[in-house]
């Protein structure tokens, strides 16, 4: 599977999660797996993906504890990051 198709599928997953943010842990795992499946990407992209995974997971914990969420900020930025990856590595 090409990098472009992996990243396009990931964008679909992100949009589904954005519409109904449930199964956060599964979503975070799928996100990480998708990025790790990319070919010929720099290690820095993997490091950035781990930062995004952390943000996704922390967002869920904040929501569960009743704290204010930044999900409205995290998910749009995540989508932009994935779109940038499509441009750079497809």
What's the structural domain count of the chain?
A: 1
Which pLDDT does position 72 carry in this prediction? 64
Exposure string over 55-82, b if 16+ CB within 10 A, otherwise e? bbeebbeeeeeeeeeebeebbeebeeeb
pLDDT at residue 61, rounded to an integer: 65
Q: What is the pLDDT of residues 51-65, one digit of tens each?
A: 999 998 887 666 666
- What pLDDT, in 10s, does the model give residues 7-48? 999 999 999 998 988 888 899 999 999 999 999 999 999 999
Nearest alpha carbon to residue 57 among 8, 17, 19: 17
pTM over 0.85: yes
Confidence label for 67 from pLDDT (cuts 50, 70 and 90)? low
Per-residue DSSP letter, 47: H
For residue 38, the tally of other CB atoms under 10 A from its CB is 20
Structural domain boundaries enclosing 62 = 3-89
Q: Shortest CA distance to 71 belongs to which of 18, 33, 3?
A: 18
Q: Are 79 and 14 in contact (CB under 8 A)?
A: yes
């Amino acid at each position: 599977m090409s990098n472009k198709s992996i990243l396009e599928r990931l964008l679909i997953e992100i949009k589904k999660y954005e519409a109904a943010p449930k199964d956060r842990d599964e979503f975070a795992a799928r996100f990480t797996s998708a990025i790790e499946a990319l070919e010929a990407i720099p290690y820095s992209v993997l490091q950035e993906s781990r930062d995004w995974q952390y943000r996704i997971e922390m967002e869920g914990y904040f929501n569960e504890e009743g704290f204010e969420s930044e999900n409205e900020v995290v998910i749009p930025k995540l989508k932009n990051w994935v779109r940038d990856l499509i441009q750079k590595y497809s």
